[in-house]
Every structure is written in C-alpha cells, then in structure tokens.
Structure 1
Amino acid sequence: MAQENDPSRNPWKSNLPPPDLDQAIKQFFNRFKKWLPGGSPHAFFTLALIFVVGSVLWSAVYTVPSDSVAVVQRFGKYIKQVQPGLHFRYPFGIDSVQIVPVKRQLKQEFGFSTPNATDPNQSLRNIDPQRETQMVTGDLNAALVEWVVQYRISDPVKFLFEVREPSETLRYVSESVMREVVGDRTVDEVITIGRQEIESEALIKMQATSSKYAMGISIDQVQLKNINPPKPVQESFNEVNQAQQEKEKLINEARRDYNKVIPLAEGEKDQRIREADGYRLKRINEAKGDIARFNALFAAYIKAPTVTRKRIYLETMQEVMPRVSSKVILDVDSQSILPLLNLKTEEQANHE
C-alpha cells in the first residue's frame, strides 16, 4: 500500500488522476491539423505522419458489445470499467482491455458436450466425460449423473482478478457440490423422486461457495439431465424398474376396480336398507290400522250385535263374490229329487 501511494512510483509524477483519454486525443487532432504542410516537398513527411496516426488510432480505438463491459488496465493495473459502445485507450500496449460478457447467460455441461459450442469452458475437451458423471450414492450404489450449470458474471473485477481460472474453478466447485448432494441420497431418490430437491440444494451450495471464494459469479440454475446406473448393471436396473412399473400398474387397476365395485355395493346396501325400513313401516302401519278397525267393529258389535254381524257378513260377501268365476244359486225350497248341476269345469268342457 505504501508503494501505491509513493509519488516517485507514479508515472504521472503527481497524485492527480490520469488525464481523460478522449480529451487528449481531441487535443492531438487539433495540433495535428496545424502540423499538416501545404506543399508537395513535405509529402513524405505527411504520409509518414498519416501512417503513424493511423497506427495509433488502430491500436487506440475499440468497441464493447452491448451484452458486455470492458475492464481497462494500464500497465497491468486496474483502472475502470467501460460500458458498451465505441471507446479510446492509450495505444501500443499502455492500456489493455478485456471484454467480459456480464449480460450473457453462460453454462457449463457435465457428462456431455454440445457440438460446436463457442464457449471453450462450456465442457471438457479431450477428456472422457464419464469421469465427471461417476458418483456413489448414500446407499453405496453407483450412478452416472449428467447436469448443467447456468450462470452469469456479476462482478467482472472479481471474476478477472480475485480467482485464477474462475471458469475452471467453477467446474471443480460444481462437481464437488454435486458429489456431496448425491452422496446424501439413495440411488432411487437420485434417479426418480429426488431430482428437484437435488437441483435446489446444489444451487444453494454452489452459490454459497462461489460467494465465499469471491469469484464474481451468480448461479442462475442447476438442471439435472440423464441419470443412469452404470452400464454393467443397467439391464438389471431396467428390469427392476419395469417390475416396479408393472406393480404400480396392477395396484392402480385394483384401486380402479375397488372404486368401481365398492360404491356400487354400498349403494345397493343402502337401497336394501331403505326398502326394508319402508316395508317395516308399512307392516307396522297396517297392523295399527287393523287394530283400530277391529276395536271400532268390536265397539259397534257390543252396541248392536245383530246389525253389526249382518253388516260384517254383507261386506265380506261383497269383497269375496267378485273373485268367484262361476256361481251356482239353489232354491232351498225346491222339491226336486236331483237338481241338475253340471260339475264339469269349463276347461274339461272345452276339451270335449
């Protein structure tokens, strides 16, 4: 810190900030216009001066894309950040500029690689991708895990100067965190039901580690891709999965039949119970009605036995007689020896 504040080591020989580059270039152009000769004897000098000026402009002008910022260093020391657009710098290596894509979402792939990727740090080159995917789960089983980390550069200064090789460091951090998270779960959780929890936990731990190392990186998403068992046991694992799927299928079919038959039986049971209750109430009411009717007749019989007996007889005959198909009426005062009575039934008569 003492050396940084020492005026003798300051190339500008003062504690004042360095002059504005844009204004210095404008002053140079104004002076250059005064130097231009008006006659042909100075043509060679004019061409040489134009060449020098062109070289200076060629090395002094640079453009920053719209999705990036430029980090300017002067003799290796950080000076400032420059926003997108056309800018000037001190030429011939005095100022060096590094373009950092802060608004672009970058990604790193583990276990596979996208062909023709423009980012050299997106995947490993000339290395077997299965080296990253081979992991041991919490129940001591093996699994091949492929995943993608999507991130952005949040602080260009930290990204460039705080950590050496930040993109490669992020790969090591991501692989370490993913192995830790997968090692806390069973192989069934990793392959089937625990994918979302693994992604969320890995995202939190990766971001915490990146912040701890001051990498200047913001993790946006961790997404699991293909997760498979090792090739020697993959066929057996698929058979187990098929058996589990068949088991789930049979359970679902049994539940479907259960939900179809049981409610129907419950409905029939309720219907039978309601019918029995209705029949019970009907018999009880009929019995009570017969009792009331009998008591009324008995009271009337006590008051007038003869009339009541005759009325009961007539009412009974009025109810019975319509049901008789054929009727035979005999005169009790007849003096015939053998009254003619056809005893054959109607069916026998039709057969004859």
Structure 2
Amino acid sequence: MPSQQDSGYRSDPWSNGNQPPPDLDKLISDGINRVKKSLPGGGGGSAGNILVILLVFLLGVGVWTSLFTVPSDSVAVVQRFGKYVKEIPPGLHFKFPLGIDKATIVPVKRQLKQEFGFATPGSTDPFQSGRGTNGQLETQMVTGDLNAALVEWVVQYRIADPVKFLFEVREPSETLRYVSESVMREVVGDRTVDEVITIGRQEIESEALVKMQALAVKYVMGISIDQVQLKNINPPRPVQESFNEVNQAQQEKEKLINEALRDYNKVIPLAEGEKDQRIREADGYRLKRINEAEGDAARFNALLSEYQKAPEVTRRRIYIETMQEVLPTIKSKIIIDEQTRGLLPFLNLTSESGAKP
C-alpha cells in the first residue's frame, strides 16, 4: 500500500516531501552525456560534440518551421513540395518542417482596396497604390468629347477563392490594377467631360463595377469586387483655372435660372388665380342678370295675365304697392283732398329740427 508521501509525489511531481524540484539544466546535461556515450567513440570528443549540436540545431529548426499561426481573418493554403494540399482555418497548426510543407496566409475576410491617382500613407500592400510615375499616368484620361480629365478612384475587393487567387493568375493584384484602369478608361471615354465631373459619377461607378466583376470572373482571379468609388475628378493643371472659370459661369447661370424660375412660380400662379377669380365673378354676374331678367319677365307676364283678368283691381294694387315703396323715402308729405279747389301755399319757416333760423 503506498504511503502518504508516495501519494503526494504522484499528485505533485516536484514535491517529494521536503526535497527541492530537480535541476533542469542538470537533467539536460545528463541527457546530452548519455547521447555522447551512445555515439561512436564512446566518451565523446570534438566529433561527438559537433553531432550533438547539429542534432539539437536540426531539432530546433524542425520545431520552429513546423508551427505556424493563421489569423482570424485569413486561411492558410498548404503546399507539399509545391503541390496544393488543403486549406487550413484560423488557429495554431502544424506542418511538415524543413520546407516540405509551405503555408501561404491569404486574408479572405479582410476588405482590400486599390487606389488610383493617390496613395494612403502607411499602406503595406505594394499593389494598393501606383508605382512611381504610373500613379499619375493612370489618372490621365480622354473623355468622349475629346477633353482631358484627371480621374482618381478606389476599388474595394475581397479574396473569394484563395486557391484561384494563388494559382490561376500570376500576380492577381497587379492584374486587377490593369483591369480596373482599362475598364475606367472605357467607361470615361463614353461620356462627356461635364458628365464625368458632375452628373455622371454614379453611373460611371455602377457601370465600372459591373464590367470589373465580369472580367474578374472571366480571368478566374478568385476576387470579388465590392465597390468602385470615384474620388477627385479635375481637368489637367494647365487648363484648370480656365475650367474653374467656366464652372463658375455655369453655376452663375444656373443660379439666375433658378431665381427666374422662383419668381415665375411665385407670380404666374397668383395671376392664374386672379384670372380664374375674375372669370368666376363675371360668370356669376352673368347668371345673376339672366336670372333677374327672366324673373322680371315672368313677373311681368304674371301681372299682365292678372291685369287682363281684372284691369281695375290690378291697376289699383300696382298703385298701392308703388306708393308703399315711394312714400317711405319722402320726408315731408302734404296730403290734400282731390275735391279741394283752393290751396294757399305756405313757406316752411322752421328748420328740420323745429328751431327758428
């Protein structure tokens, strides 16, 4: 039956009662001595030391070249003696050392970009921006109306198929630059300089994206193009000042046209409304006069019909109705009997208020 000391040793290999842990350097030196004794020559010597050092060096190199780490946004494409073997997901992995296996890290989840006409400082991708004077030459384009323009743009893409990206096309990133420049020159060459600089930017981006995607599939580059975005578009520097003056004049023209349209939209609807109001008023007055005339004619015909039935009664009624309308408008009234033969006129010497003048 094992003692308590033995059980403690098994649970903790470095605790054997009160004894200290073993010396690792001593263990390694003992192991090297055993290897030396097992080599030809027995006790070692210079040849044995060289072999031991060589074995240790080869072991370290083997371990160092067999371990590799794949980042979280990438995959590793493994080749064995140059032949494709497999893809490895992110994490810590092993491969055959000493150049037998080669692992190429491909960032499949990272959005890459290529810049044309400018360069972002600190970029590590050699194909992200143009090299030397090519970065300026690739922006010089001729539009459809034979004008020159400096076009800067950005292509954003991802690596969709790592195997095709590595093995189907030589230098796929550089090929993408050539494809992008060719497509952009074609699209810009189909439009006038005014469309390129002002109103046609969105159409150019959409058409260039479609054509670049089609060529990427045709050339089997293993690339998925996500976006094409135009940046600065300017005329060449020798004519830039004149072009700015033309643009300023164009903007002033548009401003005056907009102001004239604003005044037109303000005055014309008001005049149209007044015209419609006058027409409706005249139409209403016309209908009123017609209805009044027709009513008077109908009233006269009705009176005529009644008059023909009883002339004396109708005449007297008309007289009374007329007097009812006239008498209230007369301030002073003198009523006399028709049988009176003598009437002495008198002068009213009092004012309207009844006081003497």
- Whether TM-score is above 0.5 comes out as yes
Asked if 1 retains the 8 angstrom alpha-carbon contact of 2:80 and 2:100, the reply is: yes
Aligned residue type for 1:324: I
- In structure 2, the residue corresponding to 1:129 is in which secondary structure? helix
The 5 Å alignment of 1:2-151 reads: 41-44=30-33, 52-127=58-133, 129-151=135-157
- Name the structure 2 match of 1:322: 328
Of 274-283 and 215-224, deviating more is 274-283
Match of 1:8 in 2: none
Task: Give secondary structure in 1 for the equivalent of 2:72.
Answer: coil
The percent of aligned pairs where both chains have the same amino acid is 75
Q: Following the alignment from structure 1 to structure 2, what is the Cα–Cα distance between the partners of residues 311 and 82?
A: 121
Change (3 A) 1:340 1:42: closer
Instruction: Show the counterpart of 2:211.
Output: 205
Quick one: which amino acid aligns to residue 265 of structure 2? N
1:293 aligned partner: 299
Deviations 1:5-47 (A, max 9, x none): xxxxxxxxxxxxxxxxxxxxxxxxxxxxxxxx98965444568
State the alpha-carbon separation in 2 of the partners of residues 39 and 111 from structure 1: 61
Cα separation, 1, equivalents of 2:134 and 2:144: 25
C-alpha distance in structure 2 between counterparts of 1:351 and 1:123, whole Å: 116
Partner of 1:310: 316
Q: Which residue of 1 is the match for residue 162 of structure 2? A: 156
What TM-score do the two structures reach when normalised by structure 2?
0.78
- The residue aligned with 2:38 is none
What are the Cα deviations for residues 240-296 of structure 1, in whole angstroms up to 9, with x where unaligned?
222222222222222222222222222222222222222222222222222222223
| 1:237 shift after superposition | 1.6
User: How many angstroms does 1:181 deviate by?
Assistant: 1.4
Between the aligned partners of 1:247 and 1:39, the Cα distance in structure 2 is: 90
The answer for the alignment partner of 1:168 in structure 2 is 174
Letter in 2 for 1:257: D
Q: Residue in 2 aligned with 1:187?
A: 193
Contact 2:350 2:356 in 1 (8 A): no
2:138 match: secondary structure: helix
Q: Is the 8 A contact 2:349 2:356 kept in 1?
A: no
- Shift of the alpha carbon at 1:331? 6.3
CA distance in 2: counterparts of 1:341 and 1:166, whole angstroms: 128
Q: Which moved more, 1:291-300 or 1:171-180?
A: 291-300
Partners of 2:154 and 2:231 within 8 A in 1 = yes
Amino acid at match of 1:158: K
- Out of 277, 280, 298, the residue aligned to residue 274 of structure 1 is 280
- Amino acid paired to 1:264: L
CA distance in 1, matches of 2:106, 2:315: 122
Q: Which runs of 5+ in 1 are unaligned?
A: 1-36
SS where residue 301 of structure 1 aligns?
A: helix
Q: Hey, what's the Cα distance between the residues in 2 that align with 1:40 and 1:246?
A: 90
Structural RMSD (CA): 2.9
What is the TM-score when the length of structure 1 is the normalising length? 0.79
